[in-house]
Amino acid sequence: MLGMNTRKKSAMLLLTAVMSISLFGCSTGNTTTGNAAQPAGEGNTAAAAETTKPAGGKLVLYSAGPQKLADNIVSGFTDKTGIEVEMFQGTTGKILARMEAEKSNPVADVVILASLPSAQALKADGLTMPYPDAANADKLNKDWSDAEGNYFSSSASALGIVYNTKLVSTPPTSWAELATPAWKDAVNIPDPTLSGSALDFITGYLSANGEKGWDLLSAYKANGVAMAGANQEALDPVITGAKSIVAAGVDYMAYSSKAKGEPLDIVYPEEGTVISPRPAAILKSSPNVENAKAFIDYLLSDEAQKLVADAYLIPGREDIEATNRANVKDIPQLKVDWNWMSEHGEETAARFSETFK
Partner 1 sequence: MDNNRIFRRVGVILALFLLTISIGVPLLLIFWQSVYPDGQWDWMAPIRTITGHHLSGVLLNSVWLGICVVAVTTLLALPLAWMMAKTRMGEHRWVDVILMIPFMTPPYIGSMGWILFMQKGGYLQQWVPSSAGWSELFFSFWGMVLIMSLHLFPFLYLLLRDALIRIGGNLEEAGAVHGARAGYRFRRIILPLLLSSYGMGIMLVFVKTIAEFGTPATFGRKIGYYVMTSEIHKYISSWPIDFGKATSLASVLLSVCLVMWYMQSAMSRKFTYRLVGGKGQRSKRYSLRGGAGWLCGVYLAILLILSIGIPYFSIIAASTMKLRGSGIAFDNLTLDHYKELLSWGSVSMKAIGNSLGLSLAASTVAVIIGTGFALAIGRSSSFMQRVIDLFSLLPNTVPGIVMVVGLILFWNSPWMPVTLYNTYGMVVLTYVVLFLPYTVQYVKSSFTQIDGTLFQAGQVFGGKPLYILRRILIPLILPGMLAGWMMTFTIATRELVGSLLILPPSMQTSATYIFAQFEQGQVSLGMAMAVVTVGMTVLMLLGIELLNSKRKWNAS
Separation of alpha carbons 144 and 155, rounded Å: 9
Q: Does 51 bind partner 1 (CB under 8 A)?
A: no
Site string for partner 1, 178-207 (x = CB under 8 A): -------------x-xx-x--x--------
Write the secondary structure of 165-222 as one string of H (helix), E (strand) and C (coil): CCCCCCCCCCCHHHHCHHHCCCEEECCCCCCHHHHHHHHHHHHHHHHHHHHHHHHHHH
Q: Does 218 bind partner 1 (CB under 8 A)?
A: no
CB of 232 to partner 1, least distance (A): 5
Binding residues with partner 1: total (CB under 8 A): 79
Name the segment binding partner 1 (CB under 8 A); options: 43-51, 57-65, 216-224, 305-313: 57-65
Q: Which of residues 82-141 bind partner 1 (CB under 8 A)?
A: 85-94, 96-98, 100-102, 104-105, 107-108, 115, 117-118, 121
Instruction: Give the three-state DSSP class for 323.
Output: coil
Residues 133, 136, 138, 143: is their CA dihedral positive or negative? Answer: negative
Nearest to partner 1 of 81, 136 (CB atom): 81
CA–CA separation, 328 vs 63, rounded Å? Answer: 23
- When the beta carbons of 146 and 191 are compared against partner 1, the nearer one is 191
Q: Is the sign of the CA dihedral 85, 88, 90, 95 positive or negative? A: negative
Binding of partner 1 by 61 (CB under 8 A): yes
Smaller CB separation from partner 1, 93 or 149: 93
- State the nearest-atom distance from the C-beta of 59 to partner 1, in Å: 10
Angle (nearest 5°) at CA 243 between 237 and 245: 100
Of residues 247-266, those binding partner 1 (CB under 8 A) = 253, 256-257, 260-264
Nearer to partner 1, 151 or 175 (CB): 151
Count CB-CB contacts under 10 A for residue 174. 14
In the set 75, 173, 240, 324, which binds partner 1 (CB under 8 A)? 240
Direct distance between the N- and C-terminal alpha carbons of the chain, in angstroms, rounded to an integer: 57
Q: Which of residues 293-352 bind partner 1 (CB under 8 A)?
A: 345-346
Binding of partner 1 by 211 (CB under 8 A): no
- Residue number, 26 or 182, with CB nearest to partner 1: 26
| x-or-dash string of contact with partner 1, 220-239, rule CB under 8 A | ------xxxxx-xx-xxx-x
Burial class (CB in 10 A: 0-12, 13-18, 19+), 162: buried
Q: Which of 32, 75, 173, 339 binds partner 1 (CB under 8 A)?
A: 32
Stretch that binds partner 1, among 16-24, 147-155, 168-176, 294-302 (CB under 8 A): 16-24
Which amino acid is located at 118 in the chain?
A: S
Which residue's CB is nearer to partner 1, number 136 or number 342? 342
Strands 84-89 and 264-267, how do they pair? unpaired
Spatial distance between the Cα atoms of 64 and 71, rounded to a whole number of angstroms: 12
Nearest to 92 by CA among 68, 73, 72, 119: 119
* CB-nearer residue toward partner 1: 55 or 97: 97
Task: Tell me the sheet residues that pair with 314.
Answer: 156
Map the footprint of partner 1 across residues 62-81, applying CB under 8 A.
Answer: 62, 66-68
Distances in Å between the Cα of 180 and the Cα atoms of 159, 174, 186 are 20, 11, 11
Find the shortest distance in angstroms from Cβ 345 to partner 1: 8
Q: How far is the CB of 10 from partner 1 (least distance, A)?
A: 6
